[in-house]
Amino acid sequence: MTNQEQNVIRRVTCIICPMSCVGEVELADKKIVRMAGFKCKRGREYAANEVTAPKRVLTTTVRITGGFLPLLPVVSKAPLPKERIVECARWLANSTVKAPVREGEAVCKNILGLGIDIVASRDIEA
């Protein structure tokens, strides 16, 4: 078997801008050895992260009491590790906050110890 046969080639669509470049990332022993098809540095960084440590912004809702709506839309302040997204969403599904809440206010600090806050996406008055 040659080294080339052991390498893994991953196809990645960059979602950073509307150009939606589709490129390839070649991995050897889980290390990037070649990238092609991405038109800029931001895209190459996105693709590198996507194949080594993918992350996603989490948008969901949490229950809120004392407000005029039963649910508060929330978002992670930064992308979370993709493999922990479902766990974070489940944790938030079991959470309740109390009105009033202001847009941008942290409703969950340092979710699951990941160092990222979950913040309100809108105001909800009491």
* Interface residues toward ligand SF4, by CB under 6 A: 14, 16-17, 19-21, 38-40, 42-43
Instruction: Tell which residue, 101, 98, 97, 96, has the closest CA to residue 124.
Output: 101
Q: Which is nearer to ligand SF4, 42 or 109 (CB)?
A: 42
Shortest gap between Cβ of 93 and ligand SF4 (angstroms)?
33
Q: Which is nearer to ligand SF4, 14 or 58 (CB)?
A: 14
CA distance to 33, 40, 54, 73, 82, per residue, from 86 (Å): 31, 31, 14, 16, 8
Q: Read off the tokens for 104.
A: 């941008």
Q: Which is nearer to ligand SF4, 39 or 98 (CB)?
A: 39
Q: Is 19 exposed, middle or buried (0-12, 13-18, 19+ CB in 10 A)?
A: exposed
Shortest gap between Cβ of 57 and ligand SF4 (angstroms)?
16
- Comparing every residue's Cβ against ligand SF4, the nearest one is 43
Shortest gap between Cβ of 35 and ligand SF4 (angstroms)?
10
Shortest gap between Cβ of 11 and ligand SF4 (angstroms)?
13
Task: Strands of 2-70 (E only): list them.
Answer: 8-13, 22-28, 31-36, 55-56, 59-65
